[in-house]
Amino acid sequence: MGSKFHAFMFPWFGFGHMTAFLHLANKLAEKGHKITFLLPKKALKQLEPLNLFPECIVFHTLTIPSVDGLPDGAETTADIPITLGGFLASAMDRTRGQVEEAVRLGKPDRIFFDFAHWIPDIARDCGAKSVNFVTISAACVAISFVPGRSPDELAIPPPGYPSSKVLLHGQETNSLSFLSYPFGDGVTFYERIMTGLVNCDVISIRTCQEMEGKFCDFIEREFQRKVLLTGPMLPEPDNIKPLEDRWHQWLSRFEPGSVVYCSLGSQIILEKEEFQELCLGIELTGLPFIVAVKPPKGASTIQEALPEGFEDRVKERGVVWGEWVQQPLILAHPSIGCFVSHCGFGSMWESLLNDCQIVFIPHLGEQIFNTRLMSEELEVSVEVKREETGWFSKEKISGAVRSVMDKDTELGNLVRRNHAKLKESLLSSGIISGYVNKYVEALEKLV
């Protein structure tokens, strides 16, 4: 064993980022390392219950300064629409003084960060090593961020890029146009991420060799930085709370492997027409279903936005739900046969570690890369193809689900076989803990 270290963690103020950092903090604390976790005051209540080692992990709250354009009291991405992210980034940058002060007093050996591109400077000044912890797929980083390239070149993969399948097509490059926008105090999103990757001491990615080894090797070559893999870094299964009775009873009415569960994550709010098309597409499959999405734009409830006559037609076999659900526990229920998702990185891992068939409707740039990795490269899932206009149709949704759910289709059998193989290798004894052990060892040796 190497020597014990004290790490600071300073993730972006989005819960997907903060929880990924906290899962990592738990793994480090389990090995006896000490963590100081920097976060906005408002996030404390949600994250505290996820701290499995309160004697080793200490939360240090920051006061988030007010910024023109940021609503009063907004401290995390949960408080704002996605379009105001740049103002939140400005607020994050303006906590720099508080962070420097905490670092000066805490004297950490390692500082983990993702969006705060100025952390490597602070780390150097205090003699610590900076670790850029990437919580998106290596495939997405490998094509989007390469030294010497500009965001305008994203339609063409960089020289030596290791895949002819994980690519964007046509209009899809627009989904990455946000990289060129100022994302906090005039710094573009692209410059922010790039500066952090170029200046850090080590790049660390939440992925594994079995899925993305060649993309990680590419990043290591391009940035000439050691790339350490944490493995999937999944939270411990939440065995304390069982699945809510409402869902357990409803799901238990159906045959094993027959229900479609559809969820598009907490950030995606559809246009009303898209929402209706999604509901009609899932209805068209003829299968029982749960659709868990937020009410669409302009609607305060799910009910008011549903297509005409929809509730009467599906009342025995379908539910559309606008509130939070226990996704991991729903996916683990034997009645679930298919998971329709946006392919955010967390949902991607959850889908892989369950037995259901997988269908993806990606929305944002990173989700498109994740989907191509899963559907084209690894062939464990199916993507809903969009129309020329960029919209998806009910026929394409229904067709994608039926292509994997109908008994004995060639495609359904192929993705089921590949998925079972990959799941088995990910869960085979010791792989996930092996990643963590090797990762911690590398951090201990990082002098």
Give the DSSP letter of residue 361.
Answer: -
- Check residue 181 and give its pLDDT: 84
With b for 16 or more beta-carbon neighbours within 10 A and e for fewer, the 176-198 pattern comes to bebbeeebbeebbbbbbbbebbb
- Check residue 58 and give its pLDDT: 98
3-state secondary structure of 430: coil
Residue 81's contacts (CB-CB under 8 Å, 6 or more residues apart) are none
Q: Is 148 exposed, middle or buried (0-12, 13-18, 19+ CB in 10 A)?
A: exposed
- Check residue 447 and give its pLDDT: 65
**Beta strand segments in 241-400, E:** 259-263, 289-292, 318-321, 336-341, 357-360, 382-383
Q: Dihedral sign, CA of 81, 83, 88, 89?
A: positive
- Check residue 431 and give its pLDDT: 81
**Beta strand segments in 293-445, E:** 318-321, 336-341, 357-360, 382-383
CATH 3.40.50.2000 fits 245-427, yes or no: yes
- Enumerate helices (H) and strands (E) in the chain, giving the number of each: 17, 13
The domain segmentation of the chain, as residue ranges, is 6-236+429-444, 245-427
End-to-end distance of the chain based on CA atoms, in angstroms?
Answer: 14
Alpha carbon distances (Å) from 64 to 13, 145, 183, 350, 406 = 10, 29, 17, 32, 52
d(CA 273, CA 85): 25
- Check residue 240 and give its pLDDT: 59
Q: Report DSSP letters for 257-278, one per residue.
A: T-EEEEE-TTT----HHHHHHH
**Looking at the domain 6-236+429-444, which fold is it?**
Rossmann fold (3.40.50)
The helix-helix angle for 410-427 and 209-223 (nearest 10°) equals 70
Q: Dihedral sign, CA of 42, 83, 295, 398?
A: negative
How would you write the pLDDT of the chain (447 residues) with one tens digit per residue?
568 999 999 999 998 899 999 999 999 999 999 999 999 999 999 999 999 999 999 999 999 999 999 999 999 998 988 888 999 999 999 999 999 999 999 999 999 999 999 999 999 999 999 999 999 999 999 999 999 888 788 878 899 999 999 988 888 888 888 888 888 888 999 999 999 999 999 999 999 998 999 999 999 999 999 999 999 876 665 555 789 999 999 999 999 999 999 999 877 889 999 999 999 999 999 999 999 999 999 999 999 999 999 999 999 999 999 998 989 899 999 999 999 999 988 889 889 989 999 999 998 888 999 999 999 999 999 999 998 888 899 999 999 999 999 988 999 999 999 999 999 988 876 788 889 999 999 999 886
- Check residue 176 and give its pLDDT: 82
- Check residue 166 and give its pLDDT: 92
